[in-house]
Homo-oligomer: A and B are copies of this chain.
Amino acid sequence: MVTPTGTAELDAITARAAAAFPIWRASDAATRTGWLRALADALDGAADELVPIADRETRLGETRLRGEVGRTTGQLRLFATVVEEASYLELTVDDADPSATPPRPELRRLLVPVGPVAVFSASNFPFAFSVCGGDTASALAAGAPVIVKAHSGHPELSRRTAEIAANALVAAGAPDGSLQLIEGREAGNALVQHPVVQAAGFTGSLSGGRALFDLANGRPDPIPFYGELGSVNPVVLTPAAVAARGEALASGLAGSFTLGVGQFCTKPGVVFVPAGAGFEASVAAAVAETSGGALLTDRITDAFPSGIDALLTDPSVDELARGSAGPDGARPIVLTTDAAAVAERPETLLEEVFGPVTLLVRYASDAELHAGLRAVPGSLTATLHSEASDDVADTLALLEARAGRVLFTGWPTGVAVTWSQQHGGPWPATTSLHTSVGATAIRRFLRPIAFQDAPERLLPLVLRDAALAGLPHRRNGVLRVPAQD
A residues with CB within 8 A of B? 22, 81, 85, 87, 90, 92-94, 102, 104-105, 107-109, 112, 114, 213-214, 217, 221-224, 378, 384, 388, 392, 396-397, 400, 403-410, 414, 416, 418-422, 424, 426-428, 431-435, 440, 444, 446-455, 457-458, 472, 474, 476-481, 483-485
Q: Do residues A448 and B433 form an inter-chain contact, with CB atoms below 8 A?
A: yes
Given contacts A224-B433, A407-B453, contact A458 B213 (CB under 8 A): no
Which of B222, B422, B452 is A406 in contact with, Cβ under 8 Å? B452
Q: Do residues B104 and A427 form an inter-chain contact, with CB atoms below 8 A?
A: no
In the assembled complex, the Cα of A410 lies from the Cα of B452 at a distance in Å of: 9
Q: Do residues B109 and A427 form an inter-chain contact, with CB atoms below 8 A?
A: no
Instruction: List residues of chain B with CB within 8 A of the CB of A480.
Output: 481, 484
Q: Do residues B481 and A419 form an inter-chain contact, with CB atoms below 8 A?
A: no
Given contacts A447-B433, A472-B479, contact A422 B109 (CB under 8 A): yes
Q: Do residues A434 and B452 form an inter-chain contact, with CB atoms below 8 A?
A: no
Instruction: List residues of chain B with CB within 8 A of the CB of A406.
Output: 449-452, 454
Given contacts A87-B479, A214-B217, A485-B484, contact A404 B449 (CB under 8 A): yes
Instruction: List residues of chain B with CB within 8 A of the CB of A384.
Output: 458
Q: Do residues B22 and A397 form an inter-chain contact, with CB atoms below 8 A?
A: yes
Q: Do residues B427 and A450 form an inter-chain contact, with CB atoms below 8 A?
A: no
In the assembled complex, the Cα of A281 lies from the Cα of B109 at a distance in Å of: 36
Closest to A447 in B: B433
Instruction: List residues of chain B with CB within 8 A of the CB of A418.
Output: 94, 104, 107
The 9 closest A-B pairs by CB, nearest first: A422-B450, A92-B420, A109-B420, A409-B453, A433-B447, A407-B452, A107-B420, A221-B427, A217-B217
Residue of A400, A416, A444, A451 with most chain B CB atoms under a 10 A cut-off: A416
Instruction: List residues of chain B with CB within 8 A of the CB of A432.
Output: 224
Instruction: List residues of chain B with CB within 8 A of the CB of A222.
Output: 213, 217, 427, 431
In the assembled complex, the Cα of A364 lies from the Cα of B406 at a distance in Å of: 61
Q: How many copies does the complex hold?
A: 2
Instruction: List residues of chain B with CB within 8 A of the CB of A388.
Output: 455, 457
Give min CB distance, A375 to chain B, whole Å. Answer: 13
In the assembled complex, the Cα of A404 lies from the Cα of B408 at a distance in Å of: 42
In the assembled complex, the Cα of A432 lies from the Cα of B104 at a distance in Å of: 26
In the assembled complex, the Cα of A108 lies from the Cα of B213 at a distance in Å of: 30
Give min CB distance, A433 to chain B, whole Å. Answer: 4
In the assembled complex, the Cα of A484 lies from the Cα of B480 at a distance in Å of: 7
Closest to A223 in B: B427
In the assembled complex, the Cα of A450 lies from the Cα of B414 at a distance in Å of: 14
Closest to A390 in B: B458
Which of B85, B90, B105, B421 is A450 in contact with, Cβ under 8 Å? B421
Which of B446, B458, B477 is A85 in contact with, Cβ under 8 Å? B477
Given contacts A418-B104, A420-B108, contact A408 B449 (CB under 8 A): no
Given contacts A87-B479, A455-B388, contact A105 B405 (CB under 8 A): no
**Interchain Cβ contacts under 8 Å between A and B, 14 examples:** A92-B440, A94-B416, A102-B414, A104-B416, A107-B421, A217-B222, A221-B426, A405-B452, A406-B449, A408-B451, A409-B453, A410-B452, A420-B474, A480-B481
Instruction: List residues of chain B with CB within 8 A of the CB of A85.
Output: 477, 479
In the assembled complex, the Cα of A420 lies from the Cα of B107 at a distance in Å of: 6
Which of B105, B420, B427, B477 is A419 in contact with, Cβ under 8 Å? B477
Instruction: List residues of chain B with CB within 8 A of the CB of A476.
Output: 419
In the assembled complex, the Cα of A409 lies from the Cα of B103 at a distance in Å of: 13
Which of B102, B112, B392, B452 is A458 in contact with, Cβ under 8 Å? B392
Residue of A222, A403, A419 with most chain B CB atoms under a 10 A cut-off: A419
Q: Do residues B408 and A453 form an inter-chain contact, with CB atoms below 8 A?
A: yes
Give min CB distance, A430 to chain B, whole Å. Answer: 9
Give min CB distance, A72 to chain B, whole Å. Answer: 15
Give min CB distance, A390 to chain B, whole Å. Answer: 10
Q: Do residues A435 and B449 form an inter-chain contact, with CB atoms below 8 A?
A: no
In the assembled complex, the Cα of A476 lies from the Cα of B416 at a distance in Å of: 13
In the assembled complex, the Cα of A224 lies from the Cα of B224 at a distance in Å of: 10
Closest to A405 in B: B450
Instruction: List residues of chain B with CB within 8 A of the CB of A458.
Output: 384, 392, 396, 408
Q: Do residues B448 and A424 form an inter-chain contact, with CB atoms below 8 A?
A: yes
Closest to A459 in B: B408
Instruction: List residues of chain B with CB within 8 A of the CB of A453.
Output: 407-410
Residue of A408, A447, A448, A455 with most chain B CB atoms under a 10 A cut-off: A448
